Amino acid sequence: MKHRRRERNTPKIEKTALVHIEKAIYGGAFLARLEGKATFVPLTLPGEQARIRIVDEKRSYAAAEPEEIVSSSPSRVQPRCPHFGLCGGCSYQHTTYVSQLALKEQILRETLQRAGVPAPEHIEVLAGDPWAYRNRIRLAFASGTRVGYRGRRSHDIFTIEECPITAPLLVKAALSAAEVLRTKKPSLEATELSLFCNAEERSLLASIFVRRGQPEGFDLFAAALSDKVPELAGVELLHHSLADGTAQQLARWGELSIGYRAAGFEYRVDHGAFFQVNRWLIDSLVQRVLSAHRGTLAWDLFAGVGLFARQLAESFKEVIAVESEPAAMQGLDQNLRGSNGRSVNADTLSFLRAQDPRLKPDLIVLDPPRAGLGSEITTLLGNLGAPSIVYVSCDPSTLARDLKALLSSGYSIASVVLADLFPETFHLETVITLQKA
């Protein structure tokens, strides 16, 4: 009988090198080249020389960590957050805000050009205060009683004490929730916490996710958290299914929704419903999206709670708002009540498939999730041929793919706005206005 020779556990030798950082890459890293291979390095800046350590190497690219910044960029600054670099939330706190905007414009231009979409000479930039802007955060619990974000290169939970990009009320509520779990010890196996507040930080909704489908101790948790955070309007308890990604509501305390005043209207926003995250820029975003559009019929596809649809109802005789998420529907119905708008509970693809192409709207507003539109939706939109389309995108790659298809069907780009709704992070929002040629 053969005996397999026991292999020695020799330590892996990590490769280090001195590289020149070329440019920013969507996703938060920066590009260098090592022996001709694209190498992605976070926490660096264009023009810098950095000594790096390779942490993952594939045939066509490598990922690295900076060991030392040998020569630094003039735009490098001290990050405001003490967790920066360990926490996975922010990517650009180590550079000035002016530099961040320039990096994002470069990324947007290159992404469009790489897809064969001609970037216009002028891209308008919409920006505001880069701090304390977030009205929504989602955190994770470590050991059930410490709260934080996922780490930058791992799924480990990095405990936080502050978060400078977030509304202070949300940080207070997160730390208070962790304290309640430690001191009151309700029988909740908490895994995650989602928090949403209105712009003035006067009202707050919380969603707590648990491992098991039993709401034991939930009322105790909600009441204790309300004592610490008087702005708390409502809490829901959810069981998150790892199998299909769905969340089942097990219990609820307090209100189902809060009011959010934006662009001149009071919106109802329920637990789990989508709403734009930057509380400083929502009004300006609505203005850029709607601009001077007027007419007879407008469609708001992926409408959410009707942020754009309610505004469109002021300048169009009829507005149809299409939304499929159950969490948004009650708010959408209420927000359109008494206006020229009406809601349709359907996904965008099903709605478009059912339309008579002869009854085209004057304007279509699109605000899809990161996956974008996809080939069938862009084909249906191209065949429909509405005079104007405004596409609000949160992912430049899927935007470029969809734009290429829409341009091939006879549309042209009238304007591009880079809306920096996520300062200090690599995320960027884009508002594209298309006109039928």
| Domain edges within the chain | 14-76, 136-259, 278-436
Tell me the β-bridge partners of 75: none
3-state secondary structure 150-205: EECCCCCEEECCCCCCECHHHHHHHHHHHHHHHHCCCCCCEEEEEEEECCCCCCEE
Pairing of strands 429-436, 247-254: unpaired
- What does the alpha-carbon distance between residue 306 and residue 433 come to, in Å, rounded to a whole number? 19
What does the pLDDT read at residue 391? 98
Averaged pLDDT in 10-residue chunks for the chain of 437 residues: 43 78 97 96 98 94 97 98 93 98 98 95 97 97 86 85 97 96 89 97 96 84 97 95 75 97 97 97 97 95 98 98 97 98 98 91 98 98 97 98 98 97 98 95
| Residue 308 structure tokens | 């754009």
Backbone angles phi, psi at 83, to 5 degrees: -90, -5
Decide if 14-76 and 136-259 have a common fold. yes
Evaluate whether 197 touches 169 at the Cβ level (below 8 Å).
Answer: yes
> Domain spanning 136-259 has what CATH number?
2.40.50.1070
Class of domain 278-436: alpha beta
**Which residues are within 8 A (CB) of 69 and not within 5 positions of it... i.e. 6 or more apart?**
44, 48, 49, 50, 76
What number of residues does the chain have? 437
What are the E-state strand segments in 346-383? 363-366
- What does the alpha-carbon distance between residue 217 and residue 223 come to, in Å, rounded to a whole number? 10
- What does the alpha-carbon distance between residue 342 and residue 386 come to, in Å, rounded to a whole number? 19
Place of tokens 């009011």: 259
Q: Say if domain 14-76 classifies as CATH 3.40.50.300.
A: no
What does the pLDDT read at residue 243? 59
Q: How many angstroms separate the Cα of 76 from the Cα of each of 7, 30, 119, 329?
A: 46, 14, 28, 45
The one-letter amino acid at 269? V
**Which residues are within 8 A (CB) of 216 and not within 5 positions of it... i.e. 6 or more apart?**
186, 187, 188
Which among 153, 159, 127 has a CA at the least distance from the CA of 140? 159
Q: What is the pTM of this model?
A: 0.94
**Which residues are within 8 A (CB) of 113 and not within 5 positions of it... i.e. 6 or more apart?**
119
Evaluate whether 346 touches 314 at the Cβ level (below 8 Å).
Answer: no
Q: What's the CA angle centered on 194, arms 188 and 198, to 5 degrees?
A: 135
**Secondary structure letter of residue 89 according to DSSP:** S
What does the pLDDT read at residue 156? 85
Which among 48, 25, 32 has a CA at the least distance from the CA of 110? 25
| Residue 309 structure tokens | 């649809």
| Residue 430 structure tokens | 């884009």
